[in-house]
Chain A
Amino acid sequence: MESIELLVNRKKVKVEVDSNTPLLWVLRDHLSLVGTKYGCGIAQCGACTVWIDGEPMRSCVLPVSAVGKSSVTTIEGLHEKAEHPVQVAWDELDVPQCGYCQAGQIMTAAALLKKNPKPSHDEIVSGMSGNICRCGTYHRIHNAVKRASEIASTSNSSKKK
């Protein structure tokens, strides 16, 4: 057991865990942040995607000891009122069916748009292909990423005005 300090969703937290514990289980079991999901435990499905310093990572295979001083962002920290363009687009197009994979999809999509604010359809498809959705919501996911890109560019241009 070690005492480990983390920066999660802009808050400093401290946990007493084995340093090999994957970040996923630290979030879920020790910090009660259960929005990040377990789907496979081997970095195949993407349900556990969080950001480490803004980069999407699979928290199910990331030992908490490797996080260090990096900033962790989970679905709970994206925007608590669901006003991030990706959340807005996801709701507008009614993407979720069972919803279980969607935290990972959203964190992947939001990271994709940070790097590439106006992705082409092919870039969206390839950027999102690491996340499995068993309900088959892929079409709406792709359309929602495009819509989020539009929403973000509209709000950016209105901010400039």
Chain B
Amino acid sequence: MKTTRRSFIQKTALLSGVFSLGFDWFESKANSGIMQQMNPALDANRFNAFLSIENTGKIILYSPNPEIGQGIKTAFPIVVAEELDVDWKQVEVRQANLDTQLFERQLTGGSGALKHSWERLRKAGATARHMLIQAAAQQWGVDASTCKTSKGFVLGPNKGQKLAYGALVDAASKLSVPTEVTYKSRADYQLIGSFVKGVDNYKVLTGKPQYGLDTQKSGMLIAQIVRPPAFGSTLVSFDAAEVKKMPGIIDVVSFKNKVAVVGKSTWEVMQARKKLVCTYSDTSNLESDSTHQKWFDEGMKTDKAKVERKDGDFNAAIVKAAKVIEATYECPFLSHTPMEPMNFFADVRPGSVLLAGPTQVPQSAQKAVATLLGVPENTVQVELTKMGGGFGRRLNNDYALEAAELSSIIKMPVKVMWTREDDMTGGIYRPAVRYHFKAGLNEKGEMIAFYLRGVGLNAGNSTRQDNFPVGAIDNVLIESFNYNSAITTGPWRAPITNFLASAEQSFLDEVAVAAGKDPIQMRLDWLQKVKTNPVGKITYEPDRFIEVIKQVAEKAKWGKKGANVHQGFSVYFSHLSYVAQIAEAKMVDGEPKVTHVTAVTDCGEVINRSGAENQVIGGIIDGYGHAMFSKLSFDKGVPQQKNFDTYKLIRGNEIPTVEAHFVNNGIAPTGLGEPALPPTGGAVANALFAATKKRLYRQPFAGPDNANL
């Protein structure tokens, strides 16, 4: 098999004058080496390797993972280009479409892309470089070890020996692929860790089509879908007679509790759908905010909570405590509100399905659509578009499935487009959660007992039971209880920890005050204990925690900024990265104002300084904005906020300044799209407490009711 494939590849490479390398993941299970890939140069859309070098000298790097604004389309090629040793200005970066044979984990979620692909990307670049050196050495009749590379050229040991990669491609493609290659040493990095601008900037700045909503295909129709107004409503019947009389309307069809209005243009469809008359039947228990409050109250009392972790004996320890601190925290449902609303294109034909649009999980879309339509997966093609944000909303492919189902019914290519109101009222939300914490201190003010119960609405396990400070405390009990709600939820940037961290870091601040300890020193003491004598299983590295804490205290001049600057500390480990933050509040005209946040992040190696700063600063603004302002509430199953006039997102005149520092210790890189968000709510709440002596228990903090529950 391999021989045949190989010779075919080599012929193709010779004919096309293109050399490309990619991981053949299909075969990589048996052979972890790198395979040369077929590259029909005339059909660039079908080509899906990490890199290709044409004999004209053109270098194309392919980024397989979906780009939602996290900067992966720039970060991945940086790693390949570094190891390949080419001039970044020479490189063209292209988004690869879904290809389950060439790429693994072609998704955006969990801040896991660089962690997963770091070695693979380095190997792709380094292997190609190695083979180009071999080809040059053979040509010159010198030992390969005497050759080196520089910015797209191989340099030989003798004067004048210099060949461009493009001139070596044909020879290099005939060589066998090495199984082991050496990587550049960190000191020689030219690109990794530098400030690299986004590869799509020019397109963004000149308004070129690139997002899902910009998709235009031949014969494409536009559809919008009317969904039940309340979670728990069922469509009984509809009358589309008036809709069909409206200009530009092609069809009105119903499937799965929905009615789709299909037309020629967006505005015509928007107008026509207003004429649709739908009859719904409601279940008797449509949920309101008051329902959720009742469930939270019950969930805190039930004896059916699941024990997520138990160290020592919390119940025995808490009765012996000299001091007990308790507090309850709560967050509302949130909409993801990426700026580009949901949309997807589908063209379902006999024997082939073409999908195009914004999804964080294209392979899931492929599988789900294949299952829905009863067709083989390999007949479903997915084109990846750039996305106007994701924040977890596009981990759910409901809108891609709608497009596929609709296209299969009307037998036409169609782009399903959600309005902002559709997105905010019919979507997937961050689950609402309530937490109750209890801490027992001994006479010395040391925490001897720690309790947490999380009660969530469609939240699954709303705790992260193995995370710090667990590991430092002798008696721990962590429980979760989940209610099944009719309101659909899903992962929202830093799932669960986006509020759990805020609540926990606020609570630990209360514990420090009650114990008469400095909140930073208290954590450092605990981490020393974890280092020497951890309690049970831990998932974090105490030394990395300690480093970000020490650095943030120094950078933000903890406790040394004078009486008018009120500081709040927070630190959290998520997605394998460590982020410590100190927020600052000042009293302005008698009102507290959050003015500044200092963050120190350990995400291992920083790949792109610009992208890394963007993720940390953006994550902090996201965490701050939602902690302060945003809330989705419900009345009889109906979301009460439908657009940005009532659902408040943070604006540019409401932001604190932010400093983003990185430990940049050279450890293999870990996630950065999410980890900066979780600590922010706690740092801000603690700074506001320092300024006002009032604790904030309920998000949004700027909301009317913030008493302890």
Interface residues of A (CB under 8 A from B): 1, 17-18, 21-22, 25, 28-30, 32-42, 44-45, 47, 74-76, 78-82, 87, 90-92, 94, 96-103, 106, 125-126, 128-142
Contact = CB atoms under 8 A, between A and B. Distances in A.
A87 B201 CA distance: 9
A44 B645 contact: yes
Interface in B514-534: none
A22 to B, nearest CB: 7
B388 interface: yes
Contacts of B266: 25, 28-29, 38
Interface in B330-385: 337-341
B278 interface: no
Given A98-B339, A99-B388, A136-B622, A22 B68 contact: no
A80 B247 contact: no
B389 A139 contact: no
A132 B387 CA distance: 16
Contact of A90 (B205, B340, B391): B205
Contacts of B651: 129-130, 132, 138
A25 B265 contact: yes
A100 B625 contact: no
A32 B209 CA distance: 9
Contacts of B644: 39-40, 42, 44-45, 132
Contacts of A81: 206
B275 to A, nearest CB: 14
A98 B645 CA distance: 22
Interface residues of B, number: 62
Interface string B649-665: 11111010110000000
A76 B649 CA distance: 28
Kindly name the residue among B206, B266, B341, B650 whose own CB sees the greatest number of chain A CB atoms within 10 A.
B206
B208 to A, nearest CB: 7
Given A21-B267, A91-B197, A96-B200, A132 B205 contact: no
A29 B651 CA distance: 29
Interface in B164-220: 195, 197-198, 200-209, 211, 213-214, 216
Nearest to B617: A139
A87 B203 CA distance: 11
Interface of B: 68-71, 195, 197-198, 200-209, 211, 213-214, 216, 222, 247, 265-268, 271, 337-341, 386-391, 419-421, 610, 614, 617-622, 625, 643-645, 649-653, 655, 657-658
B344 to A, nearest CB: 15
A36 B207 contact: yes
B627 to A, nearest CB: 13
Given A29-B265, A129-B652, A129-B653, A135 B206 contact: no
Given A42-B643, A96-B69, A98-B340, 18 more contacts: A29-B222, A34-B213, A38-B266, A39-B340, A39-B420, A41-B419, A78-B206, A79-B206, A94-B197, A97-B618, A99-B203, A103-B207, A126-B653, A129-B651, A134-B389, A134-B391, A135-B389, A139-B658
B339 A45 contact: yes
B69 A132 contact: no
A82 B197 CA distance: 15
Nearest to A44: B644
A87 B388 CA distance: 19
Contacts of B222: 29
B621 A136 contact: yes
B336 to A, nearest CB: 9
B617 A99 contact: no
Contact of A98 (B69, B209, B247, B271): B69
